[in-house]
Structure 1
Amino acid sequence: MIEVSNIEKSFDGTPVLKGISCVFETGKCNLLLGGSGTGKSVLLQCIVGLMKPDIGSITFDGTIYTNSKVDIRQEIRRKIGMLFQGSALFDSMTVAQNVEFPLQMLTPEMTPEERRDRVEFCLKRVGLENAGNKMPAEISGGMKKRVGIARAIAPQCTYLFCDEPNSGLDPATSIKIDQLIHEITHEYDITTVIVTHDMNSVIEIGEHIIFLHQGKKLWDGTKEEILNATVPELRDFIFSSSLVRAAKRIDDETEGGIAAFAEEGDAGAGI
């Protein structure tokens, strides 16, 4: 579990995060939802330690991360896996070498044989067991995302952060990536935090959703609750999507409508 308490962050006197407090639950897909420029990525960077908040604290499973000693921060960072928006693979490395890279950096005690075994396991887990020798330029966008996921979980992470994991992907591939992240989260009991503005992801895997607007947290809840939320800014955001308007109609007409809608979407995508 990750606890964020009263985080504030400004740039050149302009506030970007305004007293945000929230909890990211273990074993769930926690979505940071909001439009562009709402502070989602800045909050993510503060949580993983790429930025230091001006005010507030961040706690990982009871250990305070902000303002801790260097060795404490380094120990927490070893438990963090990151899936970047553009996958951020090294073009000069093969798929297998990309997955092995964090093992070389973070687990020097592993032997080369142990690293190879771990790479093979992670690639098989994301369905790319035959792609280890390929270069990033030789694989599709969806495959690159899966390589990014394999690299993120290679060091056996406790916390997984995903920045717009569906960016640039077609709808069917997006669903597959969402489901893979969801499966891995539950399989390994990871605390997963996903930055997104994609309502399709909310409907698919939104077990815990935090909505940001103009640097403030305005709402949190589940995908089952979001369609009936009364926050005006949230309603304006979610009902800009025709998919969600359709889900709302089903929700009004049937019991458990949004779950039924998601199941129908899965069947239609051939997953």
Structure 2
Amino acid sequence: MIEVQHISKSFGDRTILKDVSGVFEKGKPNLIIGASGTGKSVLLKCIVGLVKPDDGHIFYDKRNFSEGDRDTKIEIRREIGMLFQGGALFDSKNVEQNVRFPLDILTPMSYEEKMDRVNFCLKRVGLENANKKMPSELSGGMKKRVGIARAIVNNPNYLFCDEPNSGLDPQTSILIDELIDDLSEEFKMTTIVVTHDMNSVMGIGERILFIYKGQKLWEGTKDTITHSGVKELDDFVFANKVMRSLRTK
């Protein structure tokens, strides 16, 4: 479980996050949603330590990441897997080298042990025959699956996904959502997904935080989102429905 308490962040005189609190549960995808520029990606970066919040605390299973000592922060970072927007693969490395990279820098495992883990993860994401392919040979969906394999290769307790469906067609997006959902449950990870895709929300949104202009305006599930009573959330949901209908015409 990850808990954020009263997180605030400003850049210069611009306030990005204001007093955001929330709990993200283990074994399910936890979604942070909102329109572009609302602060959801900054919140994710605060949680993983890429951005330091001005105020507030972040706890990983009751360990204070915000104020922990160097050893505590290193320990927590070793338990994190990250799927970056676009996949963020190394163009000069093939698939298995990309997936093996976290093991090369974070573990003392032997080459054989690393490759056993790499092959297991590639098989788990449906890419067991793609070891030697280069990123330039992969489709957008395959790149995302390689990114997921790399994110879980060190058997993390926490998985973070930043806009995992950006640039993907609807069918591939559903496959990526289902994979993230299955892996969260299978490996009992605390998973946080940043998205503005309502298909993802209605597909895997078991716990959802809605961010609007840097503030958390609503928290709930996909079953309650359509009758939240929050105007800004209703507008966000409606706008997404309109965009989806336009794309299908």
With the length of structure 2 as denominator, give the TM-score of the two structures: 0.96
In structure 1, what is the Cα distance between the partners aligned to 2:101 and 2:194? 24
Count of matched residue positions in the alignment of Structure 1 and Structure 2: 245
Q: Retained in 2: the 8 A contact 1:200–1:243?
A: no
Partner of 2:25: 25
Q: Deviations over 1:145-189 (max 9, x none)?
A: 000000000000000000000000000000000000000000011
| Cα deviation code 1:116-172 (max 9, x no counterpart) | 000000000000000001000011000000000000000000000000000000000
Q: Residues of 2 paired with 1:144 and 1:113: CA distance?
A: 24
1:198 partner amino acid: D
| Residue-by-residue CA offset, 1:84-142 (whole Å, 9 max, x unaligned) | 0010000000000000000011112x111000000000000000000001000011000
**One-letter amino acid matched to 1:29:** P
* Aligned partner of residue 167 in structure 2, secondary structure: coil
Query: Which runs of no fewer than 5 residues in structure 2 stay unpaired?
Result: none
The equivalent of 1:62 in structure 2 is: 62
Mapped partners of 1:55, 1:19: distance in 2: 8
Deviation at 1:244, TM superposition (A): 10
Q: Where do residues 75-114 of structure 1 align in structure 2 (5 Å cutoff)? A: 75-108=75-108, 110-114=109-113
Asked if 1:37 is matched to 2:37, the reply is yes
Q: Helix, strand or coil for the counterpart of 2:147?
A: helix
| CA distance in 1 between partners of 2:78 and 2:242 (Å) | 39
Residues 100 and 115, structure 1, Cα contact 8 Å, conserved in 2: yes
Letter in 1 for 2:42: V
Once the 2 structures are TM-superposed, how far is the Cα of residue 241 of structure 1 from its aligned partner?
2.8
- The one-letter amino acid paired with 2:94 is T
For residues 240 and 217 of structure 2, the distance between their equivalents in structure 1, rounded to whole angstroms, comes to 19
**Whole-angstrom CA distance in 1 between matches of 2:13 and 2:241:** 38
Counterpart residue number, 2:8: 8
Aligned to 1:187: 186
CA contact (8 A) 2:210 2:218 kept: yes
Q: Deviations over 1:197-244 (max 9, x none)?
A: 000000110010000000000000000010111001000100123379
Structure 1 residue runs without a partner (length 5+): 247-271
Instruction: Tell me which amino acid in the other structure corresponds to 1:41.
Output: S
1:72 aligns with 2:55: no
Q: Distance in 2 between matches of 1:231 and 1:65?
A: 32
Q: Which residue of 1 aligns with 2:211?
A: 212
Number of the residue aligned with 1:235: 234
SS at structure 1 position matched to 2:175: helix
Map 1:167-186 → 2, pairs under 5 A: 167-186=166-185
Structure 1 residue 223 and structure 2 residue 222: aligned?
A: yes
Q: Is the contact made by 1:199 and 1:244 (CA closer than 8 Å) also made in structure 2?
A: no
For residue 11 of structure 1, report the CA deviation from its aligned partner: 0.2
In 1, are the aligned partners of 2:197 and 2:240 still within 8 Å (CA)? no
Distance 1:241 1:65 in 2: 35
Query: In 2, are the aligned partners of 1:95 and 1:147 still within 8 Å (CA)?
Result: yes
User: 1:140 maps to what in 2?
Assistant: 139
